[in-house]
Amino acid sequence: MRIEEFVSNSGPKLRGDYSRARADFTVDQDPSAYTAEEQGLWRRLYARQMKILPGRAAPDYLRHLAALDAGDAIPDLEAVSRRLRRATGWELAAVPGLIPDLAFFALLAERRFPVTVWLRKPEEFDYIVEPDIFHDFFGHVPLLFEPAYADYMQAYGRGGLKAARLDALAMLARLYWYTVEFGLVRTADGLRIFGAGILSSGGEVAYALESPKPRRLAFDLERILRTEYRIDRFQDTYFVIESFARLVEDTAPDFTPIYERLRALPPIAPHAVMDGDRPVQAAAKM
């Protein structure tokens, strides 16, 4: 989709500046353009998460986050890209905000992760609907340094381009939602968070692991492809993977026949209980 077309179709909902975007929707980040207020807000967001993530976030995530040393200032995306290229061959692509599905998938398929350049307003400290640089960077970037996760993200981008041709994007988007955004992983010490939507949230971190309300189900590809989600509240259901390597394996088959089969079945509501669901014991916190 052309930039002008995307901006006029999406109208006043888009809050980024698309006027300087290239045809692939990327822009240049100016790391010196953030105000002192924005730098302060970044530090407060970062510090809040660091109080709650130890013992709850996936160990791989915490290790890569610490190595990024991004707690003091909004990161320079070019500088991080240089390190990321050496680690897993990924790079970061600055974007003005939400971009069209196909542009998003095309970047992932090239191992380029889109990171929004703007930061939320102070009144959005606790909750923001659209991804900003805090969600995109803090939530998503650390695990791009993890080889198996990095491969999963590229496969997702390729799968997105294919799903678009097969008219199956609604199904595939659920996989992204329940893994990349809201996924949990089982470790020897108990459940841990790897989904960026949880990792960058002040409230959902403890809820996802410790609340008795949501269901926590073992990863099941076809169940996920059918499960609807809500974008404006804590999740009713989380899915738990065994490892990133297993996630790559479990999503490696051609989805074409799966889409065909699932198309005939009704979607599953976010809170529904189904025959065959395998609940995962929420581990006691140590």
Q: Does 176 bind ligand HBI (CB under 6 A)?
A: yes
- H-state helical runs in the chain: 3-10, 36-52, 59-68, 77-88, 101-109, 133, 147-165, 169-176, 196-199, 204-210, 221-226, 244-250, 256-263
Nearer to ligand HBI, 96 or 191 (CB): 96
Q: Which of 69, 185, 85, 188 is nearest to 137 (CA)?
A: 69
Q: Which of 140, 146, 201, 204 is catalytic?
A: 140
What pairs with residue 94 in β-bridges? 115
Contact residues toward Fe ion (CB under 5 A) are: 131, 196
| 196 contact choice in Fe ion, ligand HBI, none (CB below 5 to 8 Å, kind-dependent) | Fe ion
Least distance CB 169 / ligand HBI (angstroms)? 7
Q: Are 240 and 278 in contact (CB under 8 A)?
A: no
Q: Give yes or no: 140 in active site.
A: yes
Q: Which of 116, 154, 200, 201 binds ligand HBI (CB under 6 A)?
A: 116
Q: Which of 52, 73, 166, 173 binds ligand HBI (CB under 6 A)?
A: 173
| 68 contact choice in ligand HBI, Fe ion, none (CB below 5 to 8 Å, kind-dependent) | none
Q: Which of 60, 65, 80, 114 binds ligand HBI (CB under 6 A)?
A: 114
Q: In one letter, which amino acid is 150?
A: A
Q: Which of 38, 91, 146, 181 is catalytic?
A: 181
Q: In one letter, which amino acid is 235?
A: Q
**CB under 8 Å to 55, separation ≥6 — which residues?**
285, 286
Stretch in the footprint of ligand HBI (CB under 6 A) among 49-57, 64-72, 92-100, 145-153:
92-100
Q: Which of 38, 91, 146, 200 is catalytic?
A: 200
Q: Give yes or no: 181 in active site.
A: yes
Q: Give yes or no: 64 in active site.
A: no
Report how far residue 77's alpha carbon sits from residue 238's, in angstroms, rounded to the nearest whole number: 31
Nearer to ligand HBI, 187 or 251 (CB): 251
Nearer to Fe ion, 196 or 217 (CB): 196
Q: Does 104 bind ligand HBI (CB under 6 A)?
A: yes
Q: Does 118 bind ligand HBI (CB under 6 A)?
A: no
Q: Which of 135, 146, 201, 204 is catalytic?
A: 135
Q: Give yes or no: 32 in active site.
A: no
Phi, psi of 108 (to 5 degrees): -60, -40
Report how far residue 105's alpha carbon sits from residue 161's, in angstroms, rounded to the nearest whole number: 6
Least distance CB 238 / ligand HBI (angstroms)? 17
Least distance CB 281 / Fe ion (angstroms)? 28
Handedness of CA 101, 125, 14, 84 (dihedral sign): negative
**Pairing, β 190-193 against β 184-187:** antiparallel
Q: Which of 88, 46, 93 is nearest to 66 (CA)?
A: 46
**In a 3-state reduction of DSSP, which class is residue 241?**
strand
Nearer to ligand HBI, 101 or 277 (CB): 101
Report how far residue 20's alpha carbon sits from residue 41's, in angstroms, rounded to the nearest whole number: 26
Nearer to Fe ion, 196 or 247 (CB): 196
- Catalytic residue positions, numbered: 135, 140, 181, 200
Give the footprint of ligand HBI on this chain (CB under 6 A).
95, 98-99, 101, 104, 114, 116, 131, 173, 176
